Amino acid sequence: MLGQIKEKISYLALLETVDSGKPKDEAVADMDDVAACFEFYAGLAEALDGKQHAPISLPMEEFKTYVLKEPIGVVGLITPWNYPLLMATWKVAPALAAGCTAVLKPSELASLTCLELGAICEEVGLPSGVLNIITGLGPDAGAPIASHPHVDKIAFTGSTATGKTIMTAAAQMVKPVSLELGGKSPLVIFDDVADIDKAVEWAMFGCFFNSGQVCSATSRLLLHEKIAERFLDRLVEWAKNIKISDPLEEGCRLGSVISKGQYEKIKKFISTARSEGATILHGGDRPKHLGKGFFIEPTIITDVSTSMQIWREEVFGPVICVKVFKTESEAVELANDTHYGLAGGVISDDLERCERIAKVIHSGIVWINCSQPTLVQAPWGGNKRSGFGRELGEWGLENYLSVKQVTRYC
């Protein structure tokens, strides 16, 4: 299967770009990550046999106890549109590696690559019924999976609002769920940074990559007062020069957002920020050279207060809001001033300070001197209203395993 995926990377990337509007180069990188994820979990599946019958050390001799790790059963996998095939793969690969069968419901806004994955599975002879793919709207095709008595677990990635609905449905049958939800992640930048350009690059990448349609986007930028002006000048310069175009065009860095609905939602966030008194330092509109399509300029918003919608709610678009701080403790307080807890970042040349802050940021992921690296070996997931459970790494496999204790009286 891995061979087939690798062979089809260009085709899958093209499908993903056409379906979602993301730049072709980004889609190719996503497909490389898809292949890497399948490869990683194939390795963990092989290692799983060696983890069976692990003895538990007991203080008495008359009992012998060991542990079996078994597939949880039929799993329902419900996924979003921002990384259509990659988000599905984060669930399908470990679920199959654990020995589960799965029902996958990709987003109605971008299902093509998931359907192509189904075709690949058929081609390589995955027994029929092991991976089932259902398309359709959430309430029609997703809700019945969440409430179905024969689905033993739900793994969901999407908005916090839908996550709550799914959790409520699953609760009726005490069905386990893992939820990867929204975010409003901070990136804190201190005045001791020698390489300001590199920091600006991370800030750009952290919020404008995939047009900001990234759950972990570092969309709240916290700048130390001593560098704020210089930093913002450079950030605006970057934003002015970024190539926004047809996502199939060579060198495109920002494609269109996913849909008319998302475009309008993002524009509404920007106009509300303006009416609440924030300043649109750069962007806020469709780029002038693009007469049509759901394109939005990288948008930088300043003069933001913590009560504003733009500070509190996930935009899921190329929009960054900026606040200035004076002290480390103020920066930490602002970073944690959110209901979400997916990710956070800190950029400083003082590594001790970075480690100190990493401990007190309330999120499942902290990046030091970078933003957004996603490693298949490391756990991914959030706290607070960003959800619970972890994907990727060995934690991703555990999501689909049930732990059984076997005790024998000797």
- Give the footprint of ligand NAD on this chain (CB under 6 A): 78-82, 87, 105, 107-108, 137-139, 142-143, 146, 157-159, 162, 165-166, 180-183, 215, 314, 316, 342, 382, 386-387
Please list the alpha-helical segments (H only) found in 21-131: 24-48, 84-97, 112-123
Q: How far is the CB of 142 from ligand NAD (least distance, A)?
A: 2
Token pair for 115: 């359907």
Nearer to ligand NAD (CB atom), residue 258 or residue 300: 258
Is residue 375 a contact partner of residue 206, using CB atoms and an 8 Å limit? no
HSE-CB of 209 using CA atoms within 13 angstroms? 20
Q: Which of 180, 314, 328, 391 is catalytic?
A: 180
Mapping DSSP to helix (H, G, I), strand (E, B) and coil, where does residue 231 land? helix
Strand order in the sheet with 186-189: 279-282, 299-302, 319-325, 220-224, 186-189, 343-347, 365-368
282-291: b (≥16 Cβ within 10 Å) or e: bbbebbeeee
Measured at CB, which residue is nearest to ligand NAD?
A: 138
Phi, psi of 391 (to 5 degrees): -105, 175
Nearer to ligand NAD (CB atom), residue 232 or residue 335: 335
Question: What length does the chain have?
Answer: 410
Nearer to ligand NAD (CB atom), residue 82 or residue 89: 82
Q: How far is the CB of 299 from ligand NAD (least distance, A)?
A: 18
Q: How far is the CB of 409 from ligand NAD (least distance, A)?
A: 45
Q: How far is the CB of 175 from ligand NAD (least distance, A)?
A: 13
The residue with tokens 């939602």 is: 265
Q: How far is the CB of 390 from ligand NAD (least distance, A)?
A: 10
Q: How far is the CB of 275 from ligand NAD (least distance, A)?
A: 24
Residue among 409, 380, 407 nearest 155 (CA): 380
342-373: b (≥16 Cβ within 10 Å) or e: bbbbbbbeeeebbeebbeebbbbbbbebbbbe
Q: How far is the CB of 38 from ligand NAD (least distance, A)?
A: 18
- From the CB of residue 38, how many other CB atoms can be counted at a distance below 10 Å? 22
Nearer to ligand NAD (CB atom), residue 148 or residue 274: 148
Residue among 146, 135, 155 nearest 94 (CA): 155
- From the CB of residue 402, how many other CB atoms can be counted at a distance below 10 Å? 16
DSSP designation for 126: P
- Is 7 tagged catalytic? no
Nearer to ligand NAD (CB atom), residue 71 or residue 158: 158
Nearer to ligand NAD (CB atom), residue 92 or residue 280: 92
Q: How far is CA 57 from CA 20, 64, 207, 410, in A?
A: 52, 8, 48, 15
Whole-number Å distance between alpha carbons of 258 and 160: 19
Nearer to ligand NAD (CB atom), residue 35 or residue 166: 166
Is residue 392 a contact partner of residue 376, using CB atoms and an 8 Å limit? yes
Q: How far is the CB of 13 from ligand NAD (least distance, A)?
A: 18
Nearer to ligand NAD (CB atom), residue 20 or residue 245: 20
Phi, psi of 214 (to 5 degrees): -135, 125
Q: Which residues are catalytic?
A: 180
